[in-house]
Amino acid sequence: MTFAAAQNEKGKTSNHCPPGEHWVRAHTQRPYIRSDGTSVSGSYHRAGCAKNPPAYAIWKDRLKAGTPSKWELKNEISKPWTEDEKERVLEALSALPVILVTETVSGIYRLKTSSQLLENPAANFQNQIALYDRAFNNKQNVARVLGHEFAHLYFRQMSKPDQVDYAIASEWEATLWAGLSDKELTLNRKGLVEADSVNHPEEDFANNIEYFLFYSKTLKEKSPRVYDWISKKFGDKLTLRGVK
């Protein structure tokens, strides 16, 4: 029988968990919001074995220390993961749709704050994601934060015909695909779920996927054509796992 071994928080003894479980050190869980929107109160967790969430095997070694490789924002500072944060991220990854959570992401990193916009809970570059302090405040849904970042990556991996099809449905200028710079892109749609959707089709797509997953009624009311496009494109594959 294969066992996963891990030391307890004092580092003096070795604790063995059975297959399908992993060792979690003693920690204080801060209040947070689950993927389904329910609030979880803060509590203290004793060290012990915990059942592996669905995402554990794939992502446990991709929650990485340090700064992402070739990260463009050179002055951003890394910080160590807490046990609470790692468990929340694994829970969030397990709730997001498989079709969205691309395994091409090589690592998810823990950084202190965004150097571009203090309100940012996360950022992405190439095949890496960084989570900032704001991703873990007690009003934040980590699954929603990660869903938005994975939507950015998904858009960049879409075929050009699919990107164009999305641009037409979401009412971006057709000249978008004629090599214009970002400053020349124009969004003609009036109903927006977030103001920064006007910045770029990729940001617009990420916002709309985020709302489709977590606030679908709002997206349907504000941008019905976009809602219909996402529904047709993904069918029932773009739904949160384990959420009724």
Q: pLDDT tens digits, residue range 136-172? A: 998 889 999 999 999 999 999 998 889 888 988 999 9
pLDDT of residue 73: 85
| Alpha carbon distance 110, 132 (integer Å) | 6
Split at pLDDT 50, 70, 90, the class of 9 is: very low
Nearest alpha carbon to residue 203 among 108, 111, 117: 117
pLDDT score of 12 more than 70 = no
Residue 111 in 3-state DSSP?
A: strand
Residue 11 DSSP one-character state: S
Pairing type for strands 43-45 and 14-17 reads: unpaired
pLDDT of residue 182: 53
Q: Taking CA 59 as the corner, what is the angle to CA 39 and CA 234, rounded to the nearest 5 degrees?
A: 75
Q: DSSP for 127-183?
A: TEEEE-GGGGSTT-BHHHHHHHHHHHHHHHHS-HHHHHHHHHHTTB-GGGGGT--GG
Average pLDDT taken over every residue of the chain = 88
pLDDT score of 177 more than 70 = no
Q: Are 25 and 83 in contact (CB under 8 A)?
A: yes
Q: Are 78 and 67 in contact (CB under 8 A)?
A: yes
Q: Enumerate residues 6+ apart whose C-beta is below 8 A from 183.
A: none
Q: Are 242 and 95 in contact (CB under 8 A)?
A: yes
Q: pLDDT tens digits, residue range 94-138? A: 999 999 998 889 999 999 999 988 889 999 998 999 999 999 998
Pairing type for strands 63-64 and 4-7 reads: unpaired
